[in-house]
Amino acid sequence: MTKILIAEDADDIRELLVFKLKAAGYEVHSVVDGESAVRLAKSIMPDLVVLDWMMPRMNGLDVCIALRSDPELHSMPIMLLTAKGQEIDVERGFSAGVDDYVVKPFSPRELVHRIEALLARTRSVSIEAFIARTST
Amino acid sequence: MFVRLSFDVVALAALGGLAVAAVAGLLLSRRRHRAKARSRQPGVQMMMDLVGDAIVMMNAAGQIISWNSGAASMFGYEASEALGLMIWSMLPAGYEAQYADLFVGLAEGSIAPPRHPVEIVSMRRDGSSLPTELSVSTWKEGNDGYVLCIFRDVSERRRMEAELRASTERLHGVLEGASETAIIATDEQGVITVFNRGAQQLLGYGEDEVCGILDLAEFHDAEELAARARELNVDRGLEALVGAARRGGAETREWTYTCKNGDRIPVSLTVTAMMHDDELRGFIAVARDLTAQRRAERRVAYGNEAFRTAFDSAPAAVLLTNSDMTCAHASPAFCELTGYTPRELKQMSMLELIVSDDDLDPEDVLARENRNFASVLQGRTPVHHSERRIRRADGTAVAVREHTSMVVGDDGEPLLWVTHLEDITQEQRVERALREALAGKIEALDRLEEIDRQKSDFVSMVSHELRSPVTSIIGYLELLGDGSYGQLAPAQADALGVVARNAARLEQLISDLMTMSRLETGRHAHLQRAPVDIAKVLREVTSSMQPIMKRRSQPLTLDVADNVGAVSGDERQLEHVVTNLLTNASKFTPEGGTIGVHLRRDGDRIVVAVNDTGMGIPREELSNVFKRFYRGRGDAVANVPGTGLGLSIVQGIVRQHGGNVAIESEVGVGTTVTLVFPADEQELSVRPMALQSN
């Protein structure tokens, strides 16, 4: 089963995401701060991480950077949730290594669609990488 | 006539007259006592010899019978030689017959002897001639007539007369020549005898109208003369003129002359008494026309007066400083400014007025001043401008701006410093106040900007904080709506729809607020600039809007001209603009109305127009539509959801792109919003190559 790690300090939104993603058939783990997210990601090796930007103890961008610097986790798909919807913020997010970016408020249905799309893209990239590696 | 009988005005000298009488008497007595005559009375002879004149006596035939020593020395004959000679031996030759007749006539009494001496050229023994003056007397003794001739040597007098004549002529020449100067000579009575050309020109009278006719006082102002006469305590007008001269030497005074034509002219008149052998012979008056001088004096006086008036009435403080730094003159305004009286200023050095920050002694201050004024001293600039503070009489200092120039004397050395001073206390106060006001304004502006920034940050923060709850609301609404928590009853679904609509509106409001906040805080510095294919933007936005329009039965037409070009800017923001315009058009147009989007090129500009057949905007509201949170009045608008931020955002973004927004509208007919962007020239120049590569 595909594992998704959610890091979100707002209980309502976290529970909404957990509910929606479980309903969509994923194995969902959730934490309420950045440090826990990094720790848990290393132990459970999720297939995708959904990070809120503004979190206590370690914000989403720093979590993203920490995961990208870990050789085991550096290719993990990461989705950033934020209320910051401005170009500069989007740019900062992508430069930190975020794969997708969802601005609050969002529709849970749309979010599920985006997660599916991101996972599909990651898998195809992995296959390409596998083909590329085997062909050389 | 053989004798030039010149009856001169000069009277016979007294001595000559006496001699004739005395000699005649003696001779007569001698004739009476003929017996004794031969014995020669030594007294008579001695007396005759004492006389320098030649005394010669003749008988009726003209034969010399008496010859004195004067005659001997005059003619060169000793008495012994002369006696018996005819008298005409002493007279010019060639007229002997006439001489004989004359002497016979004289001796007989048929010819009267001349009453006055006659001038005659006498001949000397050595052949030379001698000018003489001859007095002739005759007398009879019995039947015999005798003639007595007294010759006087007048050669010396002639010489002197000639000299006198020459010098008189010279004098006349001088007098006449001195046409610039009026010279009038009078006799001792003041009657004019000489009236030179200068006098004629000055007074307008001819010589013949004046000489011997008028007296010197004639040309004078009667009142002036009378006043002078009273001063000198004399009773005649003429004496007022000549009185002083008469008493001793010359006197020069100014008088007023009246010319022949009635003009009155000021003259300087010098009157000199002409004395001869302590005897008054007349007066000489030399008059100089003072008209030009008076005019010049009046001009100078006028100039001085004008200068003084200008100086003293000037509102500016003016100071004239001597080269030794003493005060030459200070205008009343200067005195007022400094609080010193003119008298006090005259007694102090102007250096004392200077307030120097360092405690310099006067010499150093002067040296410094000279350095400051070097450019003026060296003639490089006419005026030195500076600002300084000067000390007033009450000890306070006053800020002044001074303009100093130099007056150079005839010797080329500085003579005077002319300083104009302006009190700039007020000016400085105003300047300071302005500076303070400006500083205050800048501070206020900074504060305002800070407040504005804080406000924007606040709006941004609030919007951000609002997003999280709205996310929860929208998320759970969706879960409820899609049956995640079980099927809803129709009434529950309707109620949920109301909540969802308002949540969406709230979401839009937050989004608009954040956009506005971003536009206002000037974050356009982060505007992504790239050539944007505006036609593509219009196509995409219209296509995404099509479903909504279709629902409202609003046909949407897109009219895009070919090769319009690109707009330099941010594609997402331009999408935002077009979306806002189309949303507005759709919202304010009733179902069944039409909406059009047009794109065309106009020179170096790109024009986008969105028009609708909607409700329109009243003319009086048009100017407000770009204001934040402005919403149209009236029920129709109130029923349309909106934040009143849409057009503000459109305007903000379009301006960021260097463009303009215009709106035209007519109530019940529709509205057209026109956007004008500058075309991206760079992109246009690239375009043909791109076409070629295709």
Q: What is the pLDDT of residues B416-426, one digit of tens each?
A: 888 888 888 88
CB B585 within 8 A of CB B600: no
B530–A contact, CB cutoff 8 A: no
Q: Is B233 helix (H, G, I), strand (E, B) or coil?
A: coil
Per-residue confidence at B11, pLDDT binned at 50, 70, 90? very low
Using only C-alpha atoms, chain A has a radius of gyration, in whole angstroms, of: 14
Cα angle value A51/A54/A60 (rounded, 5°): 35
CB B334 within 8 A of CB B317: yes
* Residue B487 DSSP class: P
Q: Has residue B322 got a pLDDT over 80?
A: yes
Q: Which amino acid makes up residue B418? A: V
The whole-angstrom separation of Cα B214 and Cα B200 is 13
B238, exposed or middle or buried, with CB in 10 Å at 0-12, 13-18, 19+?
buried
CB B182 within 8 A of CB B198: yes
The whole-angstrom separation of Cα A123 and Cα A128 is 9
ipTM rounded to 2 decimals: 0.73
Mean pLDDT check: name the lowest of B27-36, B176-185, B482-491.
Answer: B27-36
Average pLDDT over residues A3-27: 89
The whole-number pLDDT of residue B326 equals 84
Judging contacts by C-beta atoms under 8 Å, the chain A residues touching residue B474 are: 105-107
Domain boundaries, given as residue ranges, for chain A? 3-135
Q: Which amino acid makes up residue B422? A: E
Q: Is the full-model pTM beyond 0.90?
A: no
Q: Name the A residues in 33-92 with CB < 8 Å from any B CB.
A: 83-88
Judging contacts by C-beta atoms under 8 Å, the chain A residues touching residue B476 are: 12, 16
Q: Has residue B222 got a pLDDT over 90?
A: no
CB A13 within 8 A of CB B475: yes
**What domains, with CATH codes, occur in chain B?**
14-153 (3.30.450.20), 173-292 (3.30.450.20), 314-423 (3.30.450.20), 444-516 (1.10.287.130), 527-687 (3.30.565.10)
The whole-number pLDDT of residue B22 equals 44
Q: Name the B residues in 575-634 with CB < 8 Å from any A CB.
A: none
The whole-number pLDDT of residue B599 equals 92
Which of A85, A21, A10 lies closest to A52, judged by CA?
A: A10
The residues pairing with B677 across neighbouring beta strands, listed in sequence order, are B606
Instruction: Write the pLDDT tens digit of every residue in B398-414.
Output: 888 888 888 887 777 77
**Main-chain dihedrals φ then ψ at residue A14, nearest 5 degrees:** -60, -45
How are beta strands B327-330 and B397-408 bridged, if at all? unpaired
The whole-angstrom separation of Cα A62 and Cα B140 is 181
A105–B contact, CB cutoff 8 A: yes
Mean pLDDT check: name the lowest of A44-58, B80-94, B363-377, B549-563.
Answer: B363-377
For residue A108, give the nearest of B468, B478, B572 by CB distance.
B478
In this structure, chain B runs to a length of: 694
Per-residue confidence at B672, pLDDT binned at 50, 70, 90? very high
The whole-number pLDDT of residue B610 equals 93
Judging contacts by C-beta atoms under 8 Å, the chain A residues touching residue B465 are: 83
Nearest CA in chain A to B482: A109
Top CATH class of A3-135 equals: alpha beta
For residue B479, give the nearest of A86, A104, A108 by CB distance.
A108
The whole-number pLDDT of residue B117 equals 85
Per-residue confidence at B357, pLDDT binned at 50, 70, 90? low
Mean pLDDT check: name the lowest of B24-38, B130-144, B207-221.
Answer: B24-38
Q: Which amino acid makes up residue B285? A: A
Q: Name the B residues in 485-514 with CB < 8 Å from any A CB.
A: 507, 511, 514
Q: Describe the crossing of helices B42-50 and B14-32 by its angle, rounded to 10 degrees.
A: 160
The whole-number pLDDT of residue B688 equals 42
- What is the enclosing helix (H) or strand (E) of B330? strand B327-330
The whole-number pLDDT of residue A30 equals 92
The whole-angstrom separation of Cα B534 and Cα B530 is 11
* Residue B614 DSSP class: S
Q: Has residue B36 got a pLDDT over 60?
A: no
A:B CB pairs within 8 Å: 60
Average pLDDT over residues A44-67: 88
Which of B580, B574, B583 lies closest to B552, judged by CA?
A: B583
The full DSSP string for B10-65 is SPPPHHHHHHHHHHHHHHHHHHHTHHHHTT--HHHHHHHHHSSSEEEEEETT-BEE
For residue A108, give the nearest of B469, B475, B570 by CB distance.
B475
Q: Has residue B33 got a pLDDT over 70?
A: no
Beta carbons of B475 and A23 less than 8 Å apart? no
Beta carbons of A83 and B526 less than 8 Å apart? no
